[in-house]
Structure 1
Amino acid sequence: MTKISLKFDFANGERLGPGKVDLLEQVRDHGSIAAAGRAMGMSYRRAWLLIDRLNHMFLEPVVVTQLGGRGGGAAGLTPFGEDVVACYRALQAKTAAAVADDLAVLEAALRPKAD
């Protein structure tokens, strides 16, 4: 099955695509930037830099963090962060629906994968 992947290059130079949205979902699911990064096979530093970029690209932050202590730090999506994820996924679904017929034509013309 073909997957639709969207990347937005905004007029202000910022970018939003599947990797950043996946990272936001991992933060939501794991409650930690470090755990989200590990789940995606990236370093904590890379994950933190991406989250920091996301927090500064919009007027509102998308992730809120709590400093570590005995049990370690925590992170979660803000309500706006949840909206960003939902909006991106909705755009992805609408795009997939809009191109389904044309995509089926291309898929039908593909050479079968060799085993």
Structure 2
Amino acid sequence: MSNLRKRPLTAGLILALLAAPVSVSPVSAHDHDHDHERHDHDEARLAVQRGEIRPLAELLSMVRNKLPGEITGVEIERHHGQWLYEFIVVDKAGRMYEVHVDPQSGEIRKTREK
């Protein structure tokens, strides 16, 4: 099984990455998808607190002018234990790109058209 974990960021996780810690409301024990999503949110929030990844707002200010268009989505993934932000970007011609960004340095690692 691959170590690659990729999930779209939800509004709650984006807020957690943008700023200080965010309170998380309890989740029903019957809803396993929400339990897993909550774990992912907590894991990413803790990674920001530990300094493993920069808050999303800080990273966006570092890379926004380097991206080939408008950001339409953000995902965060772990590959072999390393965090990586993936920005979904649409240029003026309507082409969609995946832009992989190092969550510490803001360095663009890879850009590919979808």
TM-score (norm 2): 0.31
TM-score (norm 1): 0.31
* Structure with a larger share of its residues in strand: 2
* Structure with a larger share of its residues in helix: 1
Q: Which structure has the bigger radius of gyration?
A: 1
**Higher RCO, Cα 8 Å, sep 6+:** 2
